[in-house]
Amino acid sequence: MWLKKASRLAVRCLRWSFLLGCCILLYARLIEPNWIEINSLQLTLPHLSPEFNGYRIVQISDLHRDKWMNQRRLQRVVRLVNQQKPDLVTITGDLITRNSPQFIPTLKVPLSQIAAKDQTVAILGNHDHENDSKAIIQTLAESGIVHIGNGVFTLHRGGAMLHIAGLDDLWKGTPRFDLVMQQLPDEGAAILLVHEPDFADTSAVTGRFDLQLSGHSHGGQVRLPFLKPLILPPLGEKYYVGRYQVGKMIQYTNRGLGMTAKHLRFGARPEITVFTLVAPR
């Protein structure tokens, strides 16, 4: 008798486990990838001039334009970005999924609709360099977006300056941090855009950057509660999601909006980050 009861219980457990697994798979496939979080943070930057107090920067990352990240989804992202009324928009790499050059021209229309008060700036990621990176840079220019790989873009408010520095992709690109440092003025707050977040250990040592913005890791993309993701990309394993304090520099890793490999997200919702900068008293 007890064997029959145990057998029935085991069958029920298997059925419930199968049903739960199907629900989780449907959620990870259909719901979470489309459930974009608008994450708002206030950051006090030690070198920020009072003229930039309240300055709004919107960060998007890892769009991964492909069959899944179609025009409709990309235009929705742009609408959400514009709703945040940004002064500046930063794109921290991987606009295109690897080996998908046919999607490069389709970036122009939605990206040209980003309505930043001052400017939209971008760097490339490893997937961009596995496509036609020159064509991507040209498309960015045609969309009114400034590519700042290995360069510095400076914003002015009277005599005050806010510097947005960009580094080419560490993994697949040609990063020249020495050139960035040569171009960076000694005065004014400085923010570094670099696709791979673990570069924070290098950039923080310089003492010149108040903030580093990165992407690359997708927050793990599939992450069980309270656990570190099982799979993380090279150079995105240490500072893989959210805010960190690295020395005197803040590091922030955006979870991105698109996906690679299996188009699944679990415990790592796609993200648009809104930073409101605060000047120290």
pTM of the entire predicted model: 0.93
Same structural domain for residues 89 and 160?
A: yes
3-class DSSP state of 17 = helix
Mean pLDDT of the chain: 93
3-class DSSP state of 124 = coil
Q: Which residue has the higher pLDDT, 14 or 26?
A: 26
Report how many domains make up the chain: 2
Q: Which residue has the higher pLDDT, 28 or 125?
A: 125
CATH number at residue 179: 3.60.21.10
Same structural domain for residues 245 and 122?
A: yes
Same structural domain for residues 8 and 130?
A: no
Over 90: is that where the pLDDT of 28 sits?
A: no
Per-residue model confidence (pLDDT) at position 25: 72
Same structural domain for residues 134 and 51?
A: yes
Same structural domain for residues 118 and 25?
A: no
Same structural domain for residues 64 and 201?
A: yes
d(CA 17, CA 43): 44
**Token duo for residue 278:** 């605060």
pLDDT tens for each residue of 233-251: 999 999 999 999 999 999 9
Same structural domain for residues 6 and 104?
A: no
Name the pLDDT band for 22 (thresholds 50, 70, 90).
Answer: confident
According to DSSP, the β-strands at 119-123 and 88-92 are parallel
**What is 35-99 written as a DSSP string?**
--EEEEEEEE-TT--GGGTT-EEEEE----BSSSS-HHHHHHHHHHHHHT--SEEEEES--B-TT
d(CA 89, CA 118): 9
Same structural domain for residues 189 and 101?
A: yes
Region class of 191: left (phi > 0), else alpha (psi between -120 and 50), else beta? beta
**Token duo for residue 188:** 């004014």
Name the pLDDT band for 29 (thresholds 50, 70, 90).
Answer: confident
Average pLDDT over residues 30-43: 95
pLDDT tens for each residue of 70-90: 999 999 999 999 999 999 999
The single residue listed with the structure tokens 């990176």 is 133
The single residue listed with the structure tokens 């008060």 is 117
Name the pLDDT band for 137 (thresholds 50, 70, 90).
Answer: very high
User: What range does the domain containing 72 cover?
Assistant: 37-278
Over 90: is that where the pLDDT of 10 sits?
A: no
pLDDT tens for each residue of 97-106: 999 999 999 9
pLDDT tens for each residue of 190-227: 999 999 999 999 999 999 999 999 999 999 998 888 88
Same structural domain for residues 29 and 72?
A: no
Looking from the CA of 125 toward its CB, the CA atoms found within 13 Å total: 29
Average pLDDT over residues 9-36: 73
Per-residue model confidence (pLDDT) at position 181: 98
Contact present, 270 and 257 (Cβ < 8 Å): yes
Per-residue model confidence (pLDDT) at position 18: 56
Contact present, 158 and 126 (Cβ < 8 Å): no
Per-residue model confidence (pLDDT) at position 72: 96
Per-residue model confidence (pLDDT) at position 194: 98
Query: E-strand spans in the chain?
Result: 37-44, 56-60, 88-92, 119-123, 146-147, 151-157, 160-166, 189-193, 211-214, 242-246, 249-253, 271-278
